[in-house]
Structure 1
């Protein structure tokens, strides 16, 4: 599973990244977590709002912070 946390390095983006890493650890799923902060890469992904969360190429959260429990549901 490939997970991308997308955002330009703001505090909310950092918190989302932290929640994703905690959710991955709790579920024990085999996931590669990547933080995408480069503006050109964000545009290439087609993301218009930050923070955003992409799992296996599918945008599941956009323009808001997801709680850890919500992320765990996405991972299952």
Structure 2
């Protein structure tokens, strides 16, 4: 979905604070994946659910770090 887009974000944070909840973020997961997803609270303590417009939710994952996306712009070919 974000192929050839530039994403501008805040600094990377290891604590998932309230200002990251319900926001589009770049997230690093404990399995090594780095994704761009909307972060919402999970059903399990300390876990979060990741939402996308084009893929199924990823439920109750541990986020190692996150950076809130501030701006997006299409890249040039």
Q: TM-score, normalised by structure 2?
A: 0.27
> Over alpha carbons, which structure has the higher Rg?
2
Larger relative helix fraction: 1
